[in-house]
Amino acid sequence: MGDVAKDLTSGTVGGAAQLIVGHPFDTIKVKLQSQPVPLPGQPPKYAGAVDAVKQTLAAEGPRGLYKGMGAPLATVAAFNALLFTVRGQMESFLRSEPGVPLTVNQQVIAGAGAGVAVSFLACPTELIKCRLQAQSALAIDAGSAGVAVKYGGPMDVAKHVLRSEGGARGLFKGLVPTLAREVPGNAAMFGVYEALKQYMAGGTDTSKLGRGSLIVAGGLAGASFWSSVYPTDVVKSVLQVDDYKNPKYKGSMHAFRSILASEGVKGLYKGFGPAMARSIPANAACFLAYEVTRSSLG
């Protein structure tokens, strides 16, 4: 099996592990990010992450935490296969000679290149996911979540956008902040992952590291992704769930300035707790699954 096929297979397995572990956290993150700003004197729909979990379970049951998983599940193979395959090809391009380990700086470049490629797949996928996850949070009446359901599932969202929001272009709403998230985020993640592996291995040969070390490196690498780019994810989410006919935001910078003006810096970190709580176990699972699968393929 060639290197590309190995990366495709290993990336698919890693992505599936990441999604299963992390999706409930992601649902809560998006609900917190997209809830309307409360009127003066009124409390927000969700008091925090724990309250969002309680309300979701009460209104929708455990299935509510996995709402919107159909879209990323359908594309998780393509997304992670593309991420790890482009990163692998970037590694081959940057490597001075076959078999020579890359430096941390080279891994940063490889991660950034992979981030560019996956942005074009992540944007439409996440638009569909965010619409499904956020629709109950966007209900005007907190008690009307059951009535306020607008979409029946991922395909329903895609059909609605294609029909009513400018065709295929509508699926790429939020592409600019997606790129602003994926490029530096993946650069940081793969750079931190390699740096931690080399630190724990005591050198550039990391092939003998145990699974515990891979879990630690993968979890902390995932945390570095979100800690470095989180405000851009908030901007992406609010743009993607914004009303097409009566938009609240004119673009990425307008959304950024509006959030900053109405909610302060705190508004740019809505849902940060669930995002970080998700990133560590989900990315630990992803990198471990990738490394174990890649190793087993030879």
The widest CA-to-CA distance across the chain, in whole angstroms, is 64
Q: What's the number of CA atoms in the CB half-sphere (13 Å) around residue 91?
A: 21
* Tokens (6 digits) for 197: 């592996």
Q: What's the number of CA atoms in the CB half-sphere (13 Å) around residue 244?
A: 16
In order along its 298 residues, the chain shows pLDDT tens digits of 688 889 889 998 998 888 888 888 888 888 888 888 788 888 888 988 899 999 999 999 998 888 878 766 767 777 888 999 999 999 999 998 887 889 999 999 999 999 999 999 999 999 998 888 777 666 544 444 443 457 888 889 999 999 999 999 999 999 999 999 999 999 999 999 999 999 999 998 998 999 999 999 999 999 999 999 999 999 999 999 998 888 999 999 999 999 999 999 999 998 898 889 889 999 999 999 999 999 999 7
- For domain 67-246, give its CATH number from 1.50.40.10, 3.40.430.10, 3.40.50.1370, 3.30.70.360: 1.50.40.10
Task: Locate the domains of the chain by residue range.
Answer: 67-246
- Give the list of residues 6+ apart from residue 32 with CB closer than 8 angstroms, or none: 46, 48, 49, 52, 137, 270, 271, 274
* Tokens (6 digits) for 274: 């669930």
Q: CA torsion sign, 152 to 153 to 155 to 160?
A: positive
Please report, for residues 28, 55, 192, 274, the alpha-carbon distance to residue 51 in angstroms, rounded to integers and kept in the order given: 10, 6, 33, 12
Chain centroid to Cα 11, Å, comes to 15
Q: Residue 286 and residue 202: Cα distance in Å, rounded?
A: 23
Cα angle: 174, vertex 177, 178; to 5 degrees: 80
Please report, for residues 65, 67, 263, 291, 296, the alpha-carbon distance to residue 82 in angstroms, rounded to integers and kept in the order given: 26, 24, 36, 16, 20
Q: Residue 23 and residue 13: Cα distance in Å, rounded?
A: 16
Nearest partner of 118 among 162, 84, 161, 71, judged by Cα: 84
Q: What pLDDT, on the 0 to 100 scale, is given for residue 144?
A: 45
Inter-residue contact 271 to 28 (CB < 8 Å): yes
